[in-house]
Chain A
Amino acid sequence: EPEVTQTPSHQVTQMGQEVILRCVPISNHLYFYWYRQILGQKVEFLVSFYNNEISEKSEIFDDQFSVERPDGSNFTLKIRSTKLEDSAMYFCASSEGTGSGNTIYFGEGSWLTVV
């Protein structure tokens, strides 16, 4: 079964450093997403991406965050200057469409620890 793949599975970074999390969505999907889960809290929506632009973002997705689809397969999340509170599991996801019949498929997540 096709799947969303994410790298790295775990990254430790120093506060203030830039981090790039990478994702390969399912190949025929057109909508891409990032979610995050801070330990012990809810899974939270960050951003959705369609047709090479952000289609929706949450209040969490401030100027420190950016997303990019640099080529035909990768979808990346960049955190420009990490803060301690950015420590979380980051999930990439993709879907074919946005209707109620479309399932959003998630990757295994990337654990980010900011020290």
Chain B
Amino acid sequence: QVQLVESGGGVVQPGRSLRLSCVASGFTFSSYGMYWVRQAPGEGLEWVAYISHPGSNQYYADSLKGRFTISRDNSRNTLYLQMNSLRAEDTAVYYCAKPTAGSPPKELDYWGQGTLVTVSS
């Protein structure tokens, strides 16, 4: 069965960096583009980033202004999100998500359990 397990969240000071990981299993990871979506406490969902299956194309939410970088290691079935210059407004649960098959962008049929990032001094 498909599993997505995020890790790397925690409490970090403003201006610092953090890298999230998402280990995938139960499907051919290298064949799927992958997504990060976040949700601030008590708020709605916010799409963060997408990376194509070979890793050659990335798209980001405008609000991130180059601070975040999505990457992947297909040999390790792992998706990453490097977050730099963190701000209080980046505090959220971060989900990795797998799309359905087909040409992107596609709807998200599997989600991880999420990892909480808290940006606070």
Partners in one complex: no
